[in-house]
Each structure stands twice: as C-alpha cells, then as structure tokens.
Structure 1
Amino acid sequence: MISRISALIAAVACAATLAVSPLVAHAQDQQASAASAAPAEQTAAPVAEAAAPAAAAATEKKDNPYSLGNIIAHGNTVDQAVLVILAIMSMGSWYILFIRLWDTAKLNKEAKEVRASFFKKASLQEGLKSLSETGAFRYIAQTGVDASEHHEGALTENIDHNTWVTMNIDRAVGEVNSRLQGGLGFLATVGSTSPFIGLFGTVWGILQALTQIGVAGQASIDKVAGPVGAALIMTAIGLAVAVPAVLGYNWLVNRNKAVMSQVRAFAADLHGVLMGNRKVAGR
C-alpha cells in the first residue's frame, strides 16, 4: 500500500515537472527576446532622430537663388528698377499691338461694307446714313460733303472749289492715318532700346559678382553664381521684350499700308462723286 502511494506521488511530481518546464522555458525565451530587442530599439532611436531632420529638409521647399522670383524678392535696387522698366515696356507694347490690330481689322471690315453699299445708294445722304457714325469712312465722307456744301469766307473763296474739297478730304485721310500710326513710335523705341536696358542689367550683375569676389578674396561659385545668374536673366528679359515689339511694329506697318490704300481709294472715289454732283447741279 505504501509503495503504491509512493508511486502515485512520484507520478504526480513528474507530471508537474513536465507541465511547469515549458512555461519556464517560454518565460526565459521572452526575457531573452526583450533583452535582445532593447539594445536594438536603443540603437534605432538615434537613427530615427537623425533621419527626421533629413526628411524634413528634403520635403522643405527651397528657394532658387538664381531665379527671377529671387531677384524680385531679394534683388538690389538697380536690378528691380531694370525689371520694372522692362515690364512697363512689355505691357505697353502688347497693349498697342492689340489695340492697333483691332483698329485695322475694324477699318478693313468697314472698307468691305463701303465697297458693297455706299456708292450704290441713290444720294450721298443715303450713303452717309449707311455708314457707321463712329467709323473712319463716315468721318471722311462727312468732311467731303461739308466742304462741298460750305465754301464761304473771305479767304477760302480765293481757293477754287475742287482744291478746297480735295484739301479737306486729304486732311481727313491724314487724321485717320495718324490715328492708325499712333503708338508705332513707342514700339520702335522699345524694340531698339530694351536690349540695351537688359544689357545694362547684365553689366551691373557682373559688376556685383566682381565686387563680391574682391571682398571675399576668392572666386568661389557661391559668391558669383547669384549675380551672374541675375545678369543672364536680365539679358533674356531684354530680348523677350524687344523681339515682340519689333515684329509687332513691322506687322502693323504692313497692315496700315494695306488698309490706308483702301481708305485713299474711297477718298478719291468720293471726290469724284462730289465733283460730279457739282457739275450736275451747275447745269
């Protein structure tokens, strides 16, 4: 009986030992893992802290020290003054270009309508009513009619009627031509002077680079890159302003010649009609 109880106790002790040993081993494994992970985490923490500023610096947007925006924001007074002058020239050139293109297109349209309707009317008054009140052809026609109907005055009577009407029509044509020519002088001035204004900005930028070299005592790239970059930008802007002005000037001159030839043809035909009416009235 005692041997059986001893055997039972031994069996229970053996089973308890077998049950506890895996738990102890698992606990030891967890402690070992925690001990090995702690140095790794301690090592990774400085790496992460060191990488954070680098990532922030990479994502942070940096200003280009050689860009046009940097010149506008941080450039010296001379550079900014040159930019303002070139900007005014460019805006003025484009404004004149669009306005004069609109005027010539409008005048060309009026010329087509005049050829189609004016000289087919029964009388000059009906012809005048068919023209636009604010148009150049209406102004020329009204001037010619008024000169033909009103030829009085102590001095103007010394001028024969034909010459008087011709003079007034020519004056009206000249006024129309002067209006079309308005602004072309500005385009010519911009086209001839803006490259030199940009060149002045270039020379000034190179002077600033040489000054910084002299102050620093060495020709490092960070000392001269900014002023030299600004100098090249000034040259490019000067050319960008000059080229459209020159092309626009030549284009407008050719368009004005074509349109004014139609205006002068209308004026000559109107003069003939007015002189023919006078002869008919004289009979």
Structure 2
Amino acid sequence: MTFEMLASAISIGSDSNHLNPIELFLHADIVVQAIMGGLLLASLWVWTIIISFMLRMGSVARASDDYEDGFWEAQNFEAYQKDRRRGDVPMGKVAGAGLAEWRRNASMKQIDLEGARERIAMAMGSSVGEEADKLSSRLNFLATVGSVGPFVGLFGTVWGIMNSFFQIGQQQNSSLAVVAPGISEALFATAIGLFAAIPAVIAYNRFSHRVNMFESRMQRFADKLHSALTRELEQR
C-alpha cells in the first residue's frame, strides 16, 4: 500500500511520459521484484559501509598522527605507551607488540641479538597485518556487490523478458504495447544492479588503496621502532 501511494504521488507530480520507478517495481514479476529488493538492500548496505569507513579512517588517521608525533618525542617508549593507553590506535598496538617482545628478550640472561631482531620484527609485522585486516574487514562486501550486482540485475532482466514473451504467447498478440511494459520493468533490474555495483567498485578500489597506504605507514613505523629497540639491546 505504501509503495502504491508513493507511486501515485510521483505520477501526479511528474510528467506521465516519463518512467515511474515505483510503478516499474510494483508491476514487475514477483521474481524480478525480489531481485530488485535484494539489490536495493545491497546498495543501502554499500553506502552504509562507505560512510562508516570514511569516518573510521579519518578518526584512525588523526589518532595515529597524534600518537606517532608524541611517541618519537617521548624519552621513554614504555612509559609513553602506558600513559597514553590508546589500545584502539593501530600504531599503539604495533608499538605494544614490539615493546612486549623487546621486554621478553631484554629479560634474558644471555641475549641472542640476531634472534631478538627477528622476533621483534615478526611480532610487529604480525601486528601490522592484523590491524590492516581489521581496517579492510568490511571491504569484501563492496567487492562482492561490485562484481556480482550487475549479473544479479541481468538475471532479473532475463527473467522479466522471458515472462514478457510468455505473455505474448498467452495473449496471441505481438504488439509492442503488450511487450514493452514488461521489458521496461525487466531492464529496470539491470539498472538497479548497476546502481549498486558502480559505487561499490569505486569505493572498494579507493578504500583498498587507503588501507594499503596506511599499512605501509604502519610498517615504516614498525621498521623505525625495530631499529631503536634492537640498538638498545645491543647496548646492554
């Protein structure tokens, strides 16, 4: 009922010679309607991910800038790490992993420098990969919608066209007026598929690049910290 009222309102306020998306949806076959509904929900979720990712990356970048600036100015890395207590900052987690491994190696009576270097590097490298995976955890949905969405819409179009030709056979009438509405409704499914897929592909490519850039930044931070920690081990 809600869709019908919305379709009526749109048709009253618009030129009757133009397509009415709501009417196209309402008059489509039930299978095509289900496909359209699924694609619209996917599109809504895509935009939710896009907005939330942009806000999250902005917040993470600002927090990381603040953390990293203070970290290199600190006289004592461990004291700074305890004072900040920023467990949600990726840089802080990388530093925490490196410092924890450094403490374990520094507490040994006989320090194996080569082994310590390798273990500290592995600890921070693992933390870098884990933080990058967390940032990109929801991007797979964008890739899925971007690659599958057009084909799902195409399936709705094929089904709708098949149904239109079936109606031609049932009515024994090949007039364009008979088949055109059904074909329009079917093609609308492909349009919705593209509507969901295009922003998903653009966002996935852009956000993947941002995650890769941030991962490289974390790795540079880890390399710099690794040099400082191993140099301190050598002085013991």
TM-score range, shorter chain: 0.7 to 0.9
* 2:151 aligned residue: 196
Compute the RMSD of aligned alpha carbons: 2.7
**Aligned pairs, how many?**
218
Return the match for 1:85 from 28, 38, 42.
Answer: 38
Instruction: Tell whether the 8 Å contact from 1:111 to 1:262 is kept in structure 2 after alignment.
Output: no
SS of equivalent residue, structure 1 residue 160? helix
* 1:146 aligned residue: 100
* 1:70 aligned residue: 23
Instruction: Tell whether the 8 Å contact from 1:111 to 1:263 is kept in structure 2 after alignment.
Output: no
1:65-96 Cα shifts (integer Å, max 9, x gaps) = x6332344443320121012212321232222
* 2:138 aligned residue: 183
Structure 1's 131 and 105: CA in aligned 2 closer, same or farther, altered over 3 A?
farther
Consecutive unaligned residues in structure 2, runs of 5 or more: 1-10
**Alpha-carbon offset, residue 127 of structure 1:** 2.4
SS of equivalent residue, structure 2 residue 173? coil
Paired AA for residue 132 in structure 1: R
Paired AA for residue 68 in structure 1: P
* 1:132 aligned residue: 86
**Alpha-carbon offset, residue 121 of structure 1:** 0.7
2:163 is the alignment partner of 1:208: yes
2:230 is the alignment partner of 1:275: yes
Instruction: Tell whether the 8 Å contact from 2:29 to 2:160 is kept in structure 1 after alignment.
Output: no
2:189 is the alignment partner of 1:260: no
**Alpha-carbon offset, residue 101 of structure 1:** 2.2
Q: Identity percentage over the alignment?
A: 28
SS of equivalent residue, structure 1 residue 122? coil
Q: Measure, in 1, the Cα distance between the counterparts of 2:51 and 2:13.
A: 39
Q: Measure, in 2, the Cα distance between the counterparts of 1:263 and 1:255.
A: 12
Paired AA for residue 279 in structure 1: E
SS of equivalent residue, structure 2 residue 66? helix
* 1:102 aligned residue: 55
Paired AA for residue 139 in structure 1: K
Structure 1's 143 and 189: CA in aligned 2 closer, same or farther, altered over 3 A?
same
Report the TM-score, using the length of structure 1 for normalisation. Answer: 0.69
Report the TM-score, using the length of structure 2 for normalisation. Answer: 0.82
**Alpha-carbon offset, residue 104 of structure 1:** 2.3
2:208 is the alignment partner of 1:250: no
* 1:231 aligned residue: 186
Answer 1 or 2: higher relative contact order, Cα 8 Å, separation at least 6.
2
Structure 1's 73 and 193: CA in aligned 2 closer, same or farther, altered over 3 A?
same
| Bigger Cα Rg | 1
Q: Measure, in 2, the Cα distance between the counterparts of 1:73 and 1:234.
A: 12
Structure 1's 214 and 62: CA in aligned 2 closer, same or farther, altered over 3 A?
farther
Instruction: Tell whether the 8 Å contact from 1:148 to 1:274 is kept in structure 2 after alignment.
Output: yes
* 2:8 aligned residue: none
Instruction: Tell whether the 8 Å contact from 1:143 to 1:168 is kept in structure 2 after alignment.
Output: yes
1:177-232 Cα shifts (integer Å, max 9, x gaps) = 11122122221121111111111111112111111111111123442232111012
Of residues 79-88 and 237-246 in structure 1, the stretch that sits farther from structure 2 once superposed is: 79-88
Instruction: Tell whether the 8 Å contact from 1:187 to 1:248 is kept in structure 2 after alignment.
Output: yes
Q: Measure, in 2, the Cα distance between the counterparts of 1:73 and 1:237.
A: 14
